């Protein structure tokens, strides 16, 4: 672990790097990985030195808390907590998501139906704000409450104290299948309310819709009743020949170690590794295991975005241009079937991921109704741009439909809202009041410019 002295030195270097950026110059993080999918111009300007802010400062097993640096990835965080019998309340699906990124950018995972979003298990955090100060804030403080969904527009978390959950080493899975989307939504709502299904406790739940008549909820039970000292039962390994999502169609029950459960989606970036041929066993055998990771795939997508090799090849073959539709949206559970039907008919991307959640309280910049059940629907890929259509039309349609259904959209990817609509959905009036105190000179880019920019 890092310890408080090394952490203090890292914060000092961060502040020095911030002070060295000229007034009016863009402020960005100097980090090697990203889980954002927004179109951004490349910058050669120096970034903030976060090189010393990537670890765990301390862990208190009696209190069930950890002090964690803001740029610590969940992979590195879990490597510290899991051997001690703990995990964060919510562990986002991809290894290289950072704790600060998940809190400021709304991470989610299969425990979110009972634990909310990552920021809801934060007890305290230190934030480098636009005036160069590091402020310690707690729930109820204006900066703390405005921080979720701010994406760096209010500052960067340098330290976060989070609650930890004690867990066993084994996870038992049940794959419950549906051929009717309305029934899928009704059962999801019941599971969230009861935290059990058919008399068996549910500790985590997510799902996949392969097509409107084929869907699956995966119900996880953290197997804390396994006899102490007993020989562990056989567990599946989806870092090998088979992607995890294929097992949902093949198996009724399954077992994973807690470690493999947490990263079950990362190995194949859900199912997006298929874009690189990894669903073909012949390609998979040749692809080193150490490269079967979401950050590797993300870098490959970044190279394509930068150089457009596949786009040029498709154009030469007479294939249509393609629109990138990479989004996560939250829809009220009672409107879930309606949205899924609309999405399949109007966008046509399959499969899609489902993850129910409940927020414990209202947060100004992402106003989910406390106690209400929403379902995150995730879809990631490209679709052809039809005759007479323009790039972005599908994304704009998704935005409009989600708003009509009383839902919300995460901002890690392309967004097309006009400013008035954006402000009404994400309540930037509160954030602007906070910025007047913490960033009076406006050094940090506002959220609208970060998320939408010029379109």
Q: Is the same domain home to 138 and 89? A: yes
Length of the chain, in residues: 455
Residue 134 lies in a domain: yes
Q: Is the same domain home to 184 and 144? A: no
238: Cβ contacts below 8 Å, ≥ 6 apart: 244, 247, 256, 260, 264, 267, 268
Q: Is the same domain home to 254 and 324? A: no
pLDDT for 312 equals 75
pLDDT for 305 equals 74
Residue 406 lies in a domain: yes
Report the CATH number that the domain containing residue 114 is assigned in CATH: 3.30.465.10
Total-model pTM: 0.93
Q: Is the same domain home to 31 and 143? A: yes
Q: Is the same domain home to 435 and 320? A: no
pLDDT, one tens digit per residue, over 181-214 is 999 999 999 999 999 999 999 999 999 999 999 9
Q: Is the same domain home to 371 and 441? A: no
Contact 178, 365 (CB under 8 A): no
Contact 416, 455 (CB under 8 A): yes
Instruction: Specify burial of residue 211 (Cβ count, 10 A radius: 0-12, 13-18, 19+).
Output: exposed
- Alpha-carbon distance 375 to 357, whole Å? 6
Q: Is the same domain home to 152 and 232? A: no
Report strand pairing: 408-409 vs 322-332: antiparallel
Please, what is the Cα angle at 76 between 74 and 82, to 5 degrees? Answer: 85
Where a domain ends, among 265, 298, 319? 265
Dihedral of alpha carbons 367, 371, 372, 377, sign: positive
Q: Dihedral through CA 336, CA 338, CA 342, CA 343, nearest 10?
A: 10
Residue 286 lies in a domain: no
- Alpha-carbon distance 158 to 136, whole Å? 10
Q: Is the same domain home to 156 and 178? A: no
Backbone φ and ψ of 141, nearest 5°: -75, 145
pLDDT for 35 equals 66
pLDDT for 455 equals 54
Q: 398 — alpha (psi -120 to 50), left (phi > 0) or beta? A: alpha
Lookup: tokens for 57? 């400062």
Residue 239 lies in a domain: yes
pLDDT for 29 equals 80
Report strand pairing: 56-60 vs 65-69: antiparallel
Q: Is the same domain home to 256 and 127? A: no
Domain limits for position 118: 4-167+431-451
Residue 421 lies in a domain: no
Where a domain ends, among 197, 230, 265? 265
Q: Is the same domain home to 151 and 183? A: no
Residue 245 lies in a domain: yes
Q: 140 — alpha (psi -120 to 50), left (phi > 0) or beta? A: left
CB neighbours (10 Å) of residue 173? 20
> Structurally, how many domains does the chain consist of?
3
Give the SS3 label for residue 159. strand
Residue 124's beta-bridge partner residues? Answer: 161
pLDDT for 303 equals 80
Instruction: Specify burial of residue 336 (Cβ count, 10 A radius: 0-12, 13-18, 19+).
Output: buried
Dihedral of alpha carbons 13, 123, 165, 368, sign: negative
- The parts of the chain modelled with pLDDT lower than 50 are 228
pLDDT for 32 equals 63
pLDDT mean across residues, the chain: 92
Give the SS3 label for residue 120. helix
- Alpha-carbon distance 161 to 227, whole Å? 33
pLDDT for 234 equals 84
Residue 175 lies in a domain: yes
Which residues in 303-322 are b (16+ Cβ under 10 Å) and which e? eeeeeeeeeeeeeeeeeeee
Q: Is the same domain home to 26 and 149? A: yes
- Alpha-carbon distance 266 to 254, whole Å? 18
CA distances from 295 to 53, 73, 97, 265, 269 (A): 19, 12, 9, 12, 9
Where a domain ends, among 210, 242, 265? 265
Q: Is the same domain home to 102 and 139? A: yes
Report the CATH number that the domain containing residue 331 is assigned in CATH: 3.30.70.2520
CB neighbours (10 Å) of residue 58? 15
Residue 178 lies in a domain: yes
Chain centroid to Cα 268, Å, comes to 15
């Amino acid at each position: 672990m890092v310890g408080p002295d090394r952490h203090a030195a890292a914060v000092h270097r961060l502040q020095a790097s911030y002070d060295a950026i000229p007034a009016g110059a863009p402020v960005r993080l100097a980090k090697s990985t990203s889980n954002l999918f927004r179109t951004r111009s490349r910058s050669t300007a120096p970034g903030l030195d976060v090189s010393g802010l990537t670890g765990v400062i301390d862990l208190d097993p009696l209190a069930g808390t950890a002090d964690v640096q803001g740029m610590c990835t969940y992979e590195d965080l879990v490597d510290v907590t899991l051997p001690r019998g703990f995990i964060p309340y919510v562990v986002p699906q991809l290894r290289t998501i950072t704790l600060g990124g998940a809190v400021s950018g709304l991470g989610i995972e299969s425990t979110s139906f009972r634990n909310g979003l990552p920021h809801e298990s934060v007890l305290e955090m230190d934030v480098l704000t636009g005036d160069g100060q590091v402020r310690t804030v707690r729930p109820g403080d204006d900066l703390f409450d405005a921080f979720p969904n701010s994406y760096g527009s209010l500052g960067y978390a340098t330290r976060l104290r989070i609650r930890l959950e004690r867990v066993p080493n084994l996870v038992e899975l049940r794959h419950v299948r549906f051929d009717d989307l309305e029934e899928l939504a009704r059962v999801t709502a019941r599971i969230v309310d009861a935290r059990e299904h058919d008399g068996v406790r549910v500790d985590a739940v997510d799902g996949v819709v392969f097509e409107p008549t084929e869907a699956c909820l995966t119900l996880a039970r953290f197997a804390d009743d396994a006899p102490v000292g007993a020989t562990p039962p056989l567990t599946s390994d989806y870092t090998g020949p088979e992607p995890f999502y294929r097992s949902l169609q093949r198996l009724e029950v399954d077992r994973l170690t807690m470690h493999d459960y947490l990263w079950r989606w990362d190995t194949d970036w859900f199912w997006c590794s298929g874009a690189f041929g990894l669903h073909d066993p012949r390609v998979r055998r040749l692809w080193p295991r150490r490269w079967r990771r979401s950050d590797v795939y993300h870098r490959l997508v970044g190279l394509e975005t930068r150089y457009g090799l596949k786009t040029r090849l498709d154009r030469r073959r007479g294939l249509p241009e393609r629109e990138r539709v990479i989004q996560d949206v939250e829809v009220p559970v009672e409107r879930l079937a309606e949205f899924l039907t609309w999405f399949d008919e109007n966008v046509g991307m399959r499969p899609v991921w489902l993850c129910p959640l409940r927020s414990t309280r209202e947060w100004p910049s992402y106003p989910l109704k406390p106690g209400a059940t929403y379902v995150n629907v995730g879809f990631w890929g490209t679709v052809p741009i039809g005759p007479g259509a323009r790039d972005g039309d599908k994304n704009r349609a998704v935005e409009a439909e989600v708003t009509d259904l009383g839902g919300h959209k995460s901002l890690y990817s392309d967004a097309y809202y006009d400013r008035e609509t954006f402000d009404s959905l994400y309540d930037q009036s509160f954030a602007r009041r906070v910025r007047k105190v913490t960033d009076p000179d406006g050094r940090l880019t506002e959220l609208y410019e970060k998320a939408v920019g010029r379109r």
